Chains A and B, each alone.
Chain A
Amino acid sequence: MTVLLTYLLSFTHQMTAEEALILAIPLCIFYSFVCQSAQYSCRALPPERVGFDKLGLMHAGAAAMAASLWVFAAMVLAWILSSSVNALRGLSDRLHAGPELPIIFVTGFLVYLLSTLGYYAQIALEASRAAEARMMQMSILAREAELKALKAQVNPHFLFNSLNSISALTSSDPAKAREMCILLGDFLRRTLGLGEKSAIPLEEEMSLIHAFLAVEKTRYGARLHMEENVAREALAVDVPPLLLQPLVENAIAHGIANLVEGGWIRLDVVCENGSVSIVVENLFDPEAPARRSSGVGLANVRQRLQARYGNRASFAAKGEGDRFRVAITLPAEKEVATQ
């Protein structure tokens, strides 16, 4: 802007480039402050509430005032300079002689309007950023709420059936009944504690599964066989809590529970190339009547993986012959998120 003004002032050859520069630098510094005042009028006059014609008129008025102020400042500065510095004697007169003052006025007017537009652009940008941030916030909140709802709560039927087993044991084997109460209590405590966490080490999930299986073992007895093959290095990897337990529960409810002689469940976890692959496989009766809840638990797990990892995780479930297999891969993240 200084360069522009210097060029414009020396354009008519009334003054030298040096003189123009000396005049232009303080003038521009002064005017940059003046232009900042446009900011306040911009914030006070949002275009969507004031009409565009009225808005134009008001800003044009403000620009004219600012430009007049600037012309006055130029006159004062030139007068001071010409009366105090010998080399610049007559500067004030020369400023008045040519078209310099109108040039200053027009330049000031346009610059003021430009800065007004600039501020409006800035305000719009801020507003859109804020809206974007709000949208993000909302979608995060919505997802969190969804996750909370999805976070497999303890299946009530598991509880009812376990309580029924305990009630049977109270007379036939009180010690066993007490043991089962403790196992059930242990499982419930672990489950309830997980509500607030977004991820836990696989090791913790495994011990949760063990607590769950200990209870189910009492119910199903010899019908339930569990085989585990979990790579040691995978134990520290973070997984969403209650991700695997529902898969084991599913394998029991839709697999073992439908088999007269019972069957096995196999859990394999391997760690390779920065990702963890988990396979839960179980025997099932392909001709068993479909149970009402079938598929809901699996859909939950799939959604939770999708929400947390997007396309960095994969989920596949299918039955082949008398085997049902759920395969999951997810990135091996180790830092415990403390949320």
Chain B
Amino acid sequence: MTPEPKNKIRVAIVDDEELARQVLREYLSSHPDVEIIAECANGFEAVKVVTEQKPNLVFLDIQMPKLDGFEVLELIGNECAVIFVTAHDHFAIRAFEVHAVDYLLKPVGAERFEAALKRARERLEGKVRPDAVPPAELAAAARPPAQYLERVPVRDGTRVFIIPVTKLDYAEAQDDYVALASEGKKHLKQQTIASLETALDPSRFLRVHRSYIVNLERVVKVEPYGKDSHVAVLATGAQLPVSRAGYARLRAFLDR
């Protein structure tokens, strides 16, 4: 993908309120180099549009049906610049931690809007990716402490799956991805297993192996395997390797 700076900026507006989209549309209409390619009323649509139409810039509301703005960013943040637009100021710090270009507060003023658009242009023209860290990692780091993940959004092409952590059997590291096993299927997500581990509730999920996190409720038994390693057998029949350190952690948890 080689976007030329002379090209039009392709913009998508994501907000569940028509009037809120209208304000942004109006502000953008005075910029001939900006093209609005899509408007979406919820997070699912946003992910689909970003995947299919590849906008450069997305104006993103935070509180929306289906997927909130942060979850959308987690799924699409690698592919475009994001400006959050919301009435809530308490998300600001989190927004910048996940490398949003800017954070606009409703009601949106024209001047403030122009400044945000300027920042977006600079980022797009400079073609500087803020860094190579996948957005899911940033999202995990920006999560308020003591608040664990309740659900994991996963994207498969243009489709979005939401896996409630109660339905997550285990997670397996696969290079830069994690495979999330849930209800007989595996979903790939670009995230390291270490950052997923920190996002999950440690009283429900345990890292039993360098490459595996297991949902403790699913573990039926732990059997010895080979000389000094073990294997955890899950209710689904899956067998996960348990390292020596993982076995110690598992024992510590079971003894509690």
> Which A residues form the contact surface with B (CB < 8 A)?
156-157, 160-161, 163-169, 171-172, 218-221, 257-260, 285, 287-292
Contact = CB atoms under 8 A, between A and B. Distances in A.
Interface of B: 16-20, 22-23, 26, 41-42, 44, 63-68, 71, 87-88, 90, 105-108, 150-151, 162, 164
Contacts of A260: 16, 41-42, 44, 65-66
Contact of B66 (A163, A221, A288, A290): A288
A160 B19 contact: no
Contacts, number: 69
14 contacts: A157-B88, A160-B107, A161-B20, A163-B107, A164-B19, A168-B22, A168-B23, A172-B22, A219-B19, A258-B64, A258-B66, A260-B65, A287-B164, A289-B151
Given A167-B23, A218-B19, A221-B18, A291 B63 contact: yes
Given A161-B20, A258-B66, 13 more contacts: A161-B87, A163-B107, A165-B19, A167-B107, A168-B20, A171-B26, A218-B19, A219-B17, A219-B19, A221-B18, A288-B65, A288-B66, A290-B150
B90 A161 contact: no
Interface SS majority for chain B? loop
Contacts of A221: 18
Contacts of B88: 157
Given A257-B63, A287-B151, A288-B65, A163 B106 contact: yes
A180 to B, nearest CB: 9
B219 to A, nearest CB: 26
A287 B65 CA distance: 10
B87 A292 contact: no
A289 B71 contact: yes
Contacts of B63: 257, 291
Nearest to A221: B18
Contacts of B42: 260
Contacts of B18: 221
Contacts of B71: 289
Contacts of B67: 289
A112 to B, nearest CB: 71
Contacts of B16: 257, 260
A257 B18 CA distance: 13
B19 A168 contact: yes
A168 B21 CA distance: 8
B66 A165 contact: no
A165 B41 contact: no
Given A157-B88, A287-B164, A292-B90, A164 B65 contact: no
A304 to B, nearest CB: 25
Contacts of A167: 23, 107-108
Given A168-B20, A171-B26, A257-B16, A160 B162 contact: no
Contacts of A292: 90
Nearest to A253: B63
Contacts of A289: 67-68, 71, 150-151
